Amino acid sequence: MPYIDESPTMSPQLSARGQESGDGVSPTPTDGLNTGVGDLGTELAISFVGPEESLGPHSQTLSLLLRQPMKPLKATATTSQPVLTLQQIETIFYKIQDIYEIHKEFYDNLCPKVQQWDSNITMGHLFQKLASQLGVYKAFVDNYKIALETAEKCSQSNYQFQKISEILAVRALLYKPIDRVTRSTLVLHDLLKHTPSDHPDYPLLQDALRISQNFLSSINEDIDPRRTAVTTPKGETRQLIKDGFLVELSEGSRKLRHVFLFTDVLLCAKLKKTAVGKHQQYDCKWYVPLADLVFPSPEESEHCPQVHVIPDHELEDMKMKISAIKSEVQKEKANKGQSRAIERLKKKMFENEFWLLLNSPAIPFRIHNRNGKSYLFLLSSDYERSEWREAIQKLQKKDLQAFVLSSVELQVLTGSCFKLRTVHNIPVTSNKDDDESPGLYGFLHVIVHSAKGFKQSANLYCTLEVDSFGYFVSKAKTRVFRDTTEPQWNEEFEIELEGSQSLRILCYEKCYDKTKLNKDNNEIVDKIMGKGQIQLDPQAVQTKNWHMDVIEMNGIKVEFSMKFTSRDMSLKRTPSKKQTGVFGVKISVVTKRERSKVPYIVRQCIEEVEKRGIEEVGIYRISGVATDIQALKAVFDANNKDILVMLSDMDINAIAGTLKLYFRELPEPLLTDRLYPAFMEGIALSDPAAKENCMMHLLRSLPDPNLITFLFLLEHLKRVAEKEPINKMSLHNLATVFGPTLLRPSEGESKGHLTLASDIWSHDVMAQVQVLLYYLQHPPISFTELKRNTLYFSTDV
């Protein structure tokens, strides 16, 4: 059922001056209708009447339905060879006779008034009476869907009726009464606008408009509150199936588009810039009939220039800026700051989030028009790419015909997009209302246990995605379980959440065929076997216990468990009760016990990473399997003699994860609680010489075990960054990973001035990253030189 437009815009007759309307109504007065001195109110009244017609335009349509085909069909119904039964006729043409009589009476009374117009004539009572009879329309509307279904069935089973329907366009004619309700309301709105408030007609027109608008609202609630269909000029219903914002790579640059998938066409549009107060509209960039749309296979797709990918550190920089602005907004609100200042901050935040939304996606999604042209979208989520592909392929299973839209048809379709759209806002957090959930900030621990329901053996793995800054990103990946129908992964991951509200799990079949290479990004395309999503309910996940769940996807069931640790809880560092271990034990105690300058765990993990992991893509950024990390933790804590053997066999990301976990679980951060405020002040200094003196002085102030270990780690991270072209880990990326771990506010300090979870996430994180980045970009720092210069500086900080 089509959505009825109840928006009080200009009436169709006035908005299309000089054009013929759908009902054949001309707004221009004719010689036979003396309208006075160009009176607009009269002209609007003529919209209901129509010149040179024996009936009003709407009544003429109804008369056409009654004369051809309703009366002839009724005449044959009682013969030996009826085209339709009386019951079928009653169903298809339900209430048409009643609506016709209502409008004929309205026309018969209005027409003489318009023809003999003068300023003293009143006609508000006629509109009021017409509005009071809209109950008949309600009955027609309630039956509309059944009428169309019956007409469709009769056309399929009866060749005669099929021909009659095609010649007279019965579907289009049946839609006219519905369309007229909207048009009548628009004309009423304009009539009222041009009627003086002291005119006798004014209260009557007001009442008629109120009744009409209430009627439209009630019908729209009953019909389709989501406004998902548009009627074509042929009277066919074109349903909106899916819409959303996608980044298109067009002429070498990224453009944000709003893409609409209808039952038979994919339309790519851009929201036009409009003046304040004017209705927003879409501009169609291109469209592809689904009958002509194909997805090129990797071997079929033409080679195109490599997609320019924004470096990770630039994306991380922007996230930090956005978080800092969020924090400023919250502070302004808390201090009841000026609304102008808050609006300026929000505008800046939107600009930054928009940049991030535009530049983050890197997963190619290419569609091809079999008539020649290809279009390339970039997505941030494989889940989203799969959803679009599946939705299109499902529609393509129907018997679709190729077509070309005329300019008018394209205009109607594009014009409908604004009202039909289900996604209204660009997916950035600054578009959220203040009362919307800010999402979760902290760490989500997920164990992917197993999956079942596969029909044949395959090489299977899962990936995990969470939403962050308005879009989804892949955060973790299980190992590939080979040649099985029931993979048992039992792998645990720790995923950092940045305002996240959903968790997605995708299950893939691994492809080892190098010919299946996507030429848009030179990556082998693995097949998605299933996918599913769950909402991260803060009350459900914020418990100390594991919560077990199952996601069902395409007949496949994936079992997983999860628990959540908030940011404020993750700041807590619990000292180990067993001073014999290394995790949770002061670094000075460990180095003294081991009689070493750098803890054994740090030296061994770094050695193993440099031996076989320094060229690993995403080293230190990619999560290692949590169960492997816990196994290594237990071995190091027990000082097991098999440590070296275990290290040589262990996945390199687990070893990198163990090193990060060691620093995170220190009872005090490596750069100490005492010096934290001074580091924050030092990095904020603008004078380079003053900053250099301060930052070196702070290093001298660290205890020797902390300083030596920090310098040892620093040189290692520089060597990792030298391999950035291969491992994609720049100095900035490494500073982002390690900065908040080595340098964090004490629990007491964080409680002192942080209230919101989003503040906890954003507070000083940028500065923590900048501190480590400063030392990483600094020429080599020698422990001996630092200590030699101690004589010239006070050690008081």
Give the Cβ contact number of residue 159 at 10 Å: 10
Measured distance CA(148)–CA(153) in Å, rounded: 9
Q: Are 491 and 536 in contact (CB under 8 A)?
A: no
Question: Would you state the pLDDT for residue 495?
Answer: 85
Nearest 5°: the CA angle 145, 407, 426 is: 75
Q: Are 375 and 286 in contact (CB under 8 A)?
A: yes
Question: Would you state the pLDDT for residue 541?
Answer: 65
Residues 6+ apart with CB under 8 A from 597: 591, 704, 705, 708, 709
3-state helix vs strand vs coil in the chain, percent to 5: 50, 20, 35
**Residue listed under structure tokens 């548009």:** 230
Classify 241 as helix, strand or coil: strand
Classify 679 as helix, strand or coil: helix
Output the six-digit token pair for 259.
């893409």
Q: Are 438 and 430 in contact (CB under 8 A)?
A: no
Q: What are phi and psi of 244, to 5 degrees?
A: 175, 170
Q: Are 786 and 757 in contact (CB under 8 A)?
A: no
What does the radius of gyration of the chain's CA atoms come to, in whole angstroms? 35
Measured distance CA(618)–CA(216) in Å, rounded: 57
Residue segments in the chain with a per-residue pLDDT below the cut of 50:
1-56, 221-227, 751-761, 791-797
**Residue listed under structure tokens 């800054």:** 469
> For 130, what's the count of Cα atoms within 13 Å in the CB-facing half-sphere?
27
Amino acid at 122: T
Q: Are 553 and 500 in contact (CB under 8 A)?
A: no
Classify 118 as helix, strand or coil: coil
Measured distance CA(505)–CA(560) in Å, rounded: 10
Nearest to 474 by CA among 515, 526, 431, 549: 526
The secondary structure of 547-584, three-state, reads: EEEEEEECCEEEEEEEEEEEHHHHCCCCCCCCCCCCCC
Measured distance CA(81)–CA(73) in Å, rounded: 11
Helix (H) or strand (E) holding 298: none
Q: Are 744 and 669 in contact (CB under 8 A)?
A: yes
Pure H helices in 701-730: 704-721, 724-727
Q: What are phi and psi of 91, to 5 degrees?
A: -70, -45
Nearest to 385 by CA among 283, 539, 244, 550: 244
Amino acid at 783: F
Give the Cβ contact number of residue 675 at 10 Å: 18
Measured distance CA(506)–CA(631) in Å, rounded: 27
Q: Following CA atoms 642, 644, 645, 646 in sequence, which dihedral angle do they give, to the nearest 10 degrees?
A: 80
Helix (H) or strand (E) holding 492: strand 488-500
Q: Are 239 and 228 in contact (CB under 8 A)?
A: yes
Residues 6+ apart with CB under 8 A from 16: 27
C-alpha torsion sign, points 761, 765, 766, 772:
negative
Q: Are 487 and 460 in contact (CB under 8 A)?
A: yes
Contacts 24+ apart (CB under 8 A), 578-582: 578/637, 580/637, 580/639, 581/636, 581/637, 581/638, 582/636, 582/637, 582/662
Q: Are 188 and 34 in contact (CB under 8 A)?
A: no
**Across-strand partners of 558?**
451, 551
Give the Cβ contact number of residue 192 at 10 Å: 21
Classify 507 as helix, strand or coil: strand
Output the six-digit token pair for 261.
């998938």
Using the 8-state DSSP alphabet, how is residue 764 labeled? T
Q: Following CA atoms 136, 138, 142, 147 in sequence, which dihedral angle do they give, to the nearest 10 degrees?
A: 40
Q: What are phi and psi of 48, to 5 degrees?
A: -80, -25
Using the 8-state DSSP alphabet, how is residue 26 labeled? -
The number of residues making up the chain comes to: 797
Q: Following CA atoms 537, 539, 545, 546 in sequence, which dihedral angle do they give, to the nearest 10 degrees?
A: -10
Measured distance CA(327)–CA(345) in Å, rounded: 10
C-alpha torsion sign, points 138, 144, 150, 154:
positive
Question: Would you state the pLDDT for residue 41?
Answer: 44
Q: Are 258 and 244 in contact (CB under 8 A)?
A: yes
Give the Cβ contact number of residue 667 at 10 Å: 14
- Concatenating the DSSP letter of every residue in 345-366 gives HHHHHHHHHHHHHHHS--EEEE
Question: Would you state the pLDDT for residue 285?
Answer: 95
Cα maximum dimension of the chain: 118
C-alpha torsion sign, points 417, 422, 426, 432:
positive
Nearest to 495 by CA among 472, 537, 466: 466
Question: Would you state the pLDDT for residue 738?
Answer: 93
Q: Are 615 and 726 in contact (CB under 8 A)?
A: yes
Give the Cβ contact number of residue 555 at 10 Å: 11
Measured distance CA(620)–CA(652) in Å, rounded: 9
Nearest to 381 by CA among 400, 361, 399, 366: 361
Output the six-digit token pair for 408.
């008018």
**Across-strand partners of 447?**
492, 561
Nearest to 5 by CA among 144, 180, 237, 170: 180
Question: Would you state the pLDDT for residue 432?
Answer: 66
Q: Are 62 and 100 in contact (CB under 8 A)?
A: yes
Measured distance CA(163)–CA(160) in Å, rounded: 5
